[in-house]
Amino acid sequence: MRSTMPRVAALAAFVVLTAATHATTQPSSTLIRQAMVIDGTGAPARRADLRVRGDRIVAVGTLAPEAGEQVVEAGGLTLAPGFIDTHSHHERGLSTRRDGLAMVSQGITTIVSGQDGSGMDLAELFGRYEKEPASVNIASYAGHGSIRGAVMGADFTRAATPAEVEKMAALLRTEMAAGALGLSTGLEYDPGIYSARSEVLALAKVAAEAGGRYISHIRSEDRTFWEALEEVITIGRTHRMPVQVSHIKLGMLDLWGQAGKAIAMLDAARASGVQITADIYPYTYWQANLGVFFPTRNFTDRAEATFVLEHITRAEDIIFNSTASRPEYAGKTLAQVAALRKTAPVQTMLDLLAEPGGPSLGIVARGMADADVDRLMQWPFANICSDGQSTGLHPRGFGSFPKVLGPFVRERKLFPLEEAVRKMTSLSAANVGLKERGQLTPGYFADLVLFDAATVADRADFGSAQAQAVGVHTVWVNGRIVFRDGRTTGTYPGRPLRRQ
């Protein structure tokens, strides 16, 4: 076990900065000295210094302090590129809490919004963040569901007509011109669930023609998983565009143990020329609502409810967490609610769905096996994401990245620390098309995280979903410190990142 003495010394040295630290103006440059540098490419860690000037990294190596520059003595702590959350809902909290504590406390410096088919009016979004920046950078996809809703309104429970698809295409072109990374879909959710494959394919073509990408919460993560995965591959092959599977999972008891088959399918697609990638979060539980279990939205179907509890997940693994219509059930499992109501779990599910607001009852449910999460996370083209939000009731919002660095890497040795950082930085940037971020390379933007590899860990769980992680010491965004010593700094250097 590594001695704690060097770390204690490092922390003591870390807080000793030059007088420029407390100046009211930003120093002309910052030198971070004697860090264990992990550059984001997967290369081995090395002890080195790094200089930031303005918003850019200008040098990495053995460097001497310059007159008037801020000096940070890292004392052997690990310095990495800021983490990029490629599937994030954290933007929901940024409008009220610009400091982004949930993000920066785990080393995230860039979030990618517009996920699961939700997101449009990007010109307004980006304009707002230029006028009132947050602590982190934000990029975004254009959401198919939002665009579909704008065109079809309440009449969305059917296939779109060719004229309606063309109206959607026009809206998507506007979003692409505003800087969207590409098109996102949430084909397991309303209204996207009702779209024909031809509709999605036509809109993906619009994104491809603009130089964009396609990212998808696929049509099924359980019953028809293989067909849904093939749909993404077909889009990538047809339009020769990069495609990404959002928070990839085998979300069904009957699929557990088949991660190898999924990876073989992905690898075969890549071998044939399809640029397919994925992101993944380090939890076996997902978060949605009770109605999502029913793809036909027939909430009176007893056979479907029985199938869910026998083949998708178990009654004891469904936990109610957002329960406006039934606050007394918060924190209880479906099995516990069934016992309270003295009805069988299947009947309890049907009865709850029949109540006002029943299909919208918030839940977390176990869909994945630990071994499958491990295997999929090890796939070389799978980057780390959170799928979290600052105000959420799932611990992934505050804990995803430290959970990988601590329990998955340090304790279980799932892969080397350098590979974990690659999966949080340069691979993330490549998978969503962000430029000049994700590496500690001269000329790249100075998004940085300094953390203690020996102690970094998540603290959030389902009982305390917003517990702050430990071990992250300092975070820079575009060269400015936004988090230090467990606190945000009230600095907001984040920028909207438009497609380049």
How far apart are alpha carbons 294 and 316 in whole angstroms?
18
Burial class (CB in 10 A: 0-12, 13-18, 19+), 412: exposed
SS3 assignment, position 386 = coil
Nearest to 352 by CA among 392, 309, 390: 309
How far apart are alpha carbons 480 and 254 in whole angstroms?
48
How far apart are alpha carbons 456 and 402 in whole angstroms?
6
Q: Buried (b) or exposed (e) across 211-226, using 16+ Cβ within 10 A?
A: ebbbbbbbbbbbbebe
Would you state the structure tokens that stand for residue 439, as one six-digit string? 């590496």
Please report the pLDDT score of residue 14 as a whole number: 44
Alpha helices in 326-392 (DSSP H): 334-341, 345-354, 370-378
User: For residue 355, is it left (φ>0), alpha (ψ between -120 and 50) or beta?
Assistant: beta
In the predicted model, residues of the chain with pLDDT beneath 70 are 1-26
Please report the pLDDT score of residue 157 as a whole number: 97
Task: Write the pLDDT tens digit of every residue in 407-431.
Answer: 999 999 999 999 999 999 999 999 9
Q: How many CB atoms are located within 10 Å of the residue 65 CB?
A: 14
User: For residue 365, is it left (φ>0), alpha (ψ between -120 and 50) or beta?
Assistant: beta
How far apart are alpha carbons 195 and 183 in whole angstroms?
14
Burial class (CB in 10 A: 0-12, 13-18, 19+), 128: middle
State residue 447 phi and psi, 5-degree precision: -95, 115
* Single-letter code of the amino acid located at 175: E
How far apart are alpha carbons 302 and 228 in whole angstroms?
25
Domains observed in the chain: 83-284+369-436 (3.20.20.140), 287-366 (no CATH)
Which runs of E-coded beta strand occur in 188-237? 213-217
Q: Supply the pTM of this predicted model.
A: 0.94
| Rounded to 5°, angle at Cα 392 from 373 and 493 | 95
Rounded to the nearest 10 degrees, what angle do helices 197-209 and 144-152 cross at?
A: 110
How far apart are alpha carbons 45 and 49 in whole angstroms?
12
